[in-house]
Amino acid sequence: MNVASVSLDLDNLWAYLKTHGDPAWERRPSFLPAAVPRLLEVFAEQGLTATVFVVGADAERDDGAAAVASITAAGHEVANHSHRHEPWLHRYSRAELAEEVARAEEAITAAGAPRPVGFRGPGYSVTRDLLEVLAERGYRYDASTLPTWIGPLARAYHNRTAPPGAERDGLFGGFSRVLAPNAPYRWRTAAGELVELPVTTMPLLRVPIHGSYLLQLHQVSPRLARGHFGAALRLCRALGVSPSLLLHPTDVLGAAEAPGMEFFPGMAVPGARKVELLRWVLAALRRHFEVVGTGEHVARAGSGLRDRDAGRLARC
């Protein structure tokens, strides 16, 4: 059976509000105590091991450290999702990137998880400087790319719904992402090599299939959401793509559990309906693939990966 992977970006409520330009983020509101047990329960029901990308600033707080401990105890991989969760890492200097990666590492290990070997930039933000920093620090893989053409559309939606002054240039990448590989490959950097594991989009059409996108479709029609995901799995099987599925805490939370996030796709769907959809999605994935975490997915990708020169990416 072919392999697939599941990952969870453990973005917290404050991180969403911060990106959206809502000053309420400074109070650091959290929905981790509600989301993490619910997600771990669904993973356990499905008998799967996932990878959870943790934000360092959350791992430093009590509820975040407790989340890291429970995730680790359940056997899931903990990876690095930056320290401050700012989706504009492409604006960081190399020194800022090195500090961002290192601070998150320290917080994650202090919370009881092994030192991470995988990284995902918030907002799919990646540059050659970031890749070089990761290679220097011994990371085995990055998972920061979303090979789709809708990045500029998502950015336009964000800028339209965000408060004045919170617009973000370069957020979510450009139309060029549609040309990026939709399967694992190897980055060659001046500091060494590491594997890139993209967040899978629907083969050929290059539209997203991750949880938030499915929930947006679910608001229109539950049948549409399931049909979209089912079609993506059929294409993956037909074309030999090993899917890497991305989830977020909002995939199991209702609007009342995430106050201030009415702007976010899928928040009109009740939490119980979200959990029901997630169970269906994971069960469908497991019917056709052996589901593992992203670290194991990278390990099984083998040594015959195509090389890509990180020098083609812009510097910070």
Q: Which residue's entry shows tokens 């201030």?
A: 260
Report helix, strand or coil for 195: strand
Torsions phi, psi of 218, nearest 5?
-60, -35
Instruction: Please compute the mean of the pLDDT values over residues 51-75 and round it to a whole number.
Output: 98
Whole-number pLDDT of residue 101: 98
Torsions phi, psi of 118, nearest 5?
-125, 150
Q: Is the pLDDT of residue 30 over 70?
A: yes
In our burial notation (b when 16+ CB lie closer than 10 A, e otherwise), range 127-150 reads bbbbbbbbbebebbbbbbbbbbbb
Nearest to 118 by CA among 13, 224, 199: 199
Q: Is the pLDDT of residue 128 over 50?
A: yes
Q: Is the pLDDT of residue 166 over 50?
A: no
pLDDT band at 159 (very low <50, low <70, confident <90, very high): very low
Report domain extents, the chain: 3-311
CATH dotted code for 3-311? 3.20.20.370
SS3 annotation, 85-150: CCCCHHHCCHHHHHHHHHHHHHHHHHCCCCCCCEECCHHHCCCHHHHHHHHHCCCCEECCCCCCCC
pTM surpassing 0.75? Answer: yes
DSSP 257: G
Angle between helices 62-73 and 32-46 (to 10 degrees): 10
Distance from first CA to last CA of the chain, Å, rounded? 41
Q: Is the pLDDT of residue 238 over 80?
A: yes
- pLDDT tens digits along 196-207: 999 999 999 999
**Mean pLDDT estimate for the chain:** 91
